[in-house]
Amino acid sequence: MLPFGFSWGIKKKSVALRFFGVYLWWTFFRNVVDIWTSSEKSNNLLLFNFDLLVRFTLLGLMFYHTFQYPYEKRAVLVMIIGFAMLFGVDFVLSNPNLSDLHNHRLNRYSFVVEGVLMLLLVLRFFLYLVRELPVANLSHYPFFWICCGLLIAHAGTIFLTPFLHYFNVWNNPYNFKTMVKIEHWVEIIRNAAFTIAMFFARRSTN
Amino acid sequence: MLQTANDGILIASIAMLLMAMFIIIFVAYYQQRHAQHQITVKEMQERHRQELMAAMFRGQEAERRRLAQDLHDDIGTMLSVAKMTLNQLERHLDRFSPERAQAQKTRTLLDDTLKNVRRISRDLVPTTLERFGLLAALEELVGNANTELVSVQLERPETFDFSNTALDVMLYRIVQELVNNAIRHAGATHIIIRFFVHENELRLAVIDDGRGFDIDEVVQSKQRGLGLRNIESRLSVVNGHVTFDVAPGRGSRIMVQIPLENPKLVALLT
């Protein structure tokens, strides 16, 4: 429901919020394709990997349009380009035989790097909020809630994802019940924060 | 070994989550506290500004009173003495002599000057306002403004219970400014002054059929907008505000609203 809700009055929203809307639509598309491919019992890890690059780019562009200073914007662009390069290298190194989709592996290092970069961006934004007080009422500021969701999601999974992705392979699945539960819980909290952001963004232009 | 790693990751993840929660709570709390502090500072600044404005208007009124007193006591008295002296001199002159005609002309000039001095003195400090209150002063203002060319009408309540000398002076000055503007600048021929109290709020409307004006242009102009800015400044002291329903080529409707529930602000003027 989130992408549909967020699209309401998208023309009046700021560029940063529009990028966030695109991110939600992309996630929605990925999830739909995931469900469909799973039901067809076909491998969707390639899409899952590609999602990492797309989501970091979209969220990075969202921060690019949120940050005020040119040096911050430049840093975000460097992060996006650097991450895209790392992603490419990691993708190839993780999968020596790219045509073998059955034994295709999730990116091993990109997930962790993405998590760390995202945490840095969120913390930088919080520092900006605390130092410059750009809004009078923080609880009504959609970007605050978006960043809360991102912080919780990435902080909660920063140690989980490498484990899940290193050990959990097609031919040798491990049972990480508690870890998967934590991942699901932080995703629920993240989506709840995004829903609050959506509520306050319905008339917001910043 | 896997179980140990599992537990370690679990503890680290929970620690990270707690840290994230702490950061969010800290940001929200700090921002809230800072925002509250800023509101308090703004309120203090506004209060200080109101006090300064009130002091300025008090000073202005005191200066007007001093000027009016000087005009009445010094210049007025001297002119009256000059007129009496001229009258005595006139009696010694031949009835049809050119000197007597000259003296009569001088006496007429002195009469006109005395009238003007009294008018200026009255405008500076409306004695009717001090003696009989706002409603009587407004009646007098309307009476003086009414001419063959201009008709001014006052719609007012029978009594005005919220009377306060400082507030009365403020309202009188505002009406005086608006009526003067309507006559001098808008060329109005019919002016209505509506004055009433509604739900603990004092409302004043000055409506005219003049040629109107462009409010943005007037406000931007340093000279022309002085009177209107003065009205806004006076009103800001008592948290009042003015609304201009005006456009070039049609009459104007200027409305003033003053809340009466905060006597502290009105007392600032006193």
- pLDDT score recorded for residue B90: 84
Domain count, chain B: 2
- The stretch A158-182 carries a mean pLDDT of 69
Nearest to B31 among A138, A159, A182 (CB): A138
Q: Which of B62, B93, B122 delimits the end of a domain?
A: B122
Specify whether B51 is located in the same domain as B86. Answer: yes
> Residue A42 above 60 pLDDT?
yes
Q: Which of B122, B154, B175 delimits the end of a domain?
A: B122
Residues with Cβ within 8 Å of B162's Cβ and at least 6 positions away in sequence, in order, are B197, B202, B260
Min Cα–Cα distance to chain A from B13, Å = 5
Specify whether B132 is located in the same domain as B252. Answer: yes
Residues with Cβ within 8 Å of A76's Cβ and at least 6 positions away in sequence, in order, are A60, A61, A63, A64, A67, A121
Of the listed ranges A51-65, A126-140, B1-15, B150-164, the one predicted with least confidence: B1-15
> Residue A205 above 60 pLDDT?
no
What is d(CA A205, CA A139) in angstroms, rounded to the nearest whole number?
Answer: 15
List CB contacts (< 8 A) between B21 and chain A: 152
SS3 of A26-67: the string is HHHHHHHHHHHHHHCCCCCHHHHHHHHHHHHHHHHHHHHHHC
Of the listed ranges A30-39, A95-104, B167-176, B228-237, the one predicted with least confidence: A95-104
Paired tokens of B192: 């209505």
- The stretch A72-100 carries a mean pLDDT of 84
- pLDDT score recorded for residue A98: 63
Strand partners, A169: A172
What is d(CA A108, CA A89) in angstroms, rounded to the nearest whole number?
Answer: 11
Contact B20 A155 (CB under 8 A): yes
H-assigned helices in B71-133: 77-91, 98-124, 127-132
- pLDDT score recorded for residue B147: 87
Instruction: Please choose, from the candidates B53, B49, B64, B51, the residue with its C-alpha nearest in 3D space to the C-alpha of residue B234.
Output: B53
Nearest to B16 among A136, A158, A176 (CB): A158
Specify whether B140 is located in the same domain as B262. Answer: yes
Range(s) of the domain holding residue B137: 127-269
A46 touches B: beta carbon within 8 Å: no
Residues with Cβ within 8 Å of A204's Cβ and at least 6 positions away in sequence, in order, are A13, A14, A17, A141, A142
Contact A179 B13 (CB under 8 A): yes
> Quick check: A190 and A153 in contact, CB under 8 A?
yes
- pLDDT score recorded for residue A56: 92
> Residue A206 above 60 pLDDT?
no
List CB contacts (< 8 A) between A179 and chain B: 6, 9-10, 13
Name which of B19, B21, B24 to mutate to probe chain A: the one with the most chain A Cβ atoms within 10 A of its Cβ. Answer: B24
Strand partners, B255: B205, B243
What is d(CA A34, CA A40) in angstroms, rounded to the nearest whole number?
Answer: 10
Min Cα–Cα distance to chain B from A106, Å = 19
The strand ranges marked E within chain B are 151-155, 190-198, 201-208, 241-245, 252-259
Nearest to B27 among A130, A155, A163 (CB): A130
Specify whether B146 is located in the same domain as B257. Answer: yes
How sure is the predictor about A174, in pLDDT bands with cuts at 50, 70 and 90?
low
Q: What are the phi and psi torsion angles at A161 (to 5°)?
A: -55, -45
Specify whether B133 is located in the same domain as B258. Answer: yes
Q: Which of B68, B95, B122 delimits the end of a domain?
A: B122
* Under-50 pLDDT residues of chain B: none
Contact A182 B35 (CB under 8 A): no
Edge-to-edge strands of the sheet including B151-155? B151-155, B190-198, B201-208, B252-259, B241-245
H-assigned helices in B146-205: 165-184
Name which of B1, B27, B39, B40 to mutate to probe chain A: the one with the most chain A Cβ atoms within 10 A of its Cβ. Answer: B27
Min Cα–Cα distance to chain B from A176, Å = 8
What is d(CA B215, CA B228) in angstroms, rounded to the nearest whole number?
Answer: 10
- pLDDT score recorded for residue B8: 79
Contact A148 B24 (CB under 8 A): yes
Q: Which stretches of chain B sit within 8 Å of chain A by CB? A: 2, 5-6, 9-10, 12-14, 16-17, 19-21, 23-24, 27-28, 30-32, 34-35, 38
Identify which of A6-20, A69-83, A135-149, B127-141 has the greatest average pLDDT.
A69-83
- pLDDT score recorded for residue B212: 85
Contact A152 B20 (CB under 8 A): yes
More confident residue, B224 or A173: B224
- pLDDT score recorded for residue A85: 92
Specify whether B101 is located in the same domain as B157. Answer: no
Tell me how far CA of residue B25 lies from CA of A178, A198, B18, B200, B261, in angstroms: 26, 20, 10, 43, 39
- pLDDT score recorded for residue B162: 67
How many CB pairs (< 8 A) connect A and B? 62
Q: What is the CATH number of the domain that holds B188?
A: 3.30.565.10
Min Cα–Cα distance to chain A from B18, Å = 9
- pLDDT score recorded for residue B109: 92
Specify whether B114 is located in the same domain as B164. Answer: no
> Quick check: B14 and A114 in contact, CB under 8 A?
no
Residues with Cβ within 8 Å of A40's Cβ and at least 6 positions away in sequence, in order, are none
Nearest to A155 among B19, B31, B35 (CB): B19
A196 touches B: beta carbon within 8 Å: no
Specify whether B90 is located in the same domain as B169. Answer: no
- pLDDT score recorded for residue A175: 64
- The stretch A43-68 carries a mean pLDDT of 86
What is d(CA B188, CA B117) in angstroms, rounded to the nearest whole number?
Answer: 27
Min Cα–Cα distance to chain A from B261, Å = 28
Nearest to B13 among A126, A133, A160 (CB): A160
How sure is the predictor about A176, in pLDDT bands with cuts at 50, 70 and 90?
low
Specify whether B18 is located in the same domain as B108. Answer: yes
Specify whether B132 is located in the same domain as B256. Answer: yes
Contact B28 A159 (CB under 8 A): no
- pLDDT score recorded for residue A170: 58
Specify whether B8 is located in the same domain as B61. Answer: yes
Contact A139 B28 (CB under 8 A): yes
Long-range pairs of A88-94 with CB within 8 A, sequence gap ≥ 24: A91/A49
- pLDDT score recorded for residue B52: 86
Helix (H, G, I), strand (E, B) or coil at B210: coil
Specify whether B164 is located in the same domain as B40. Answer: no
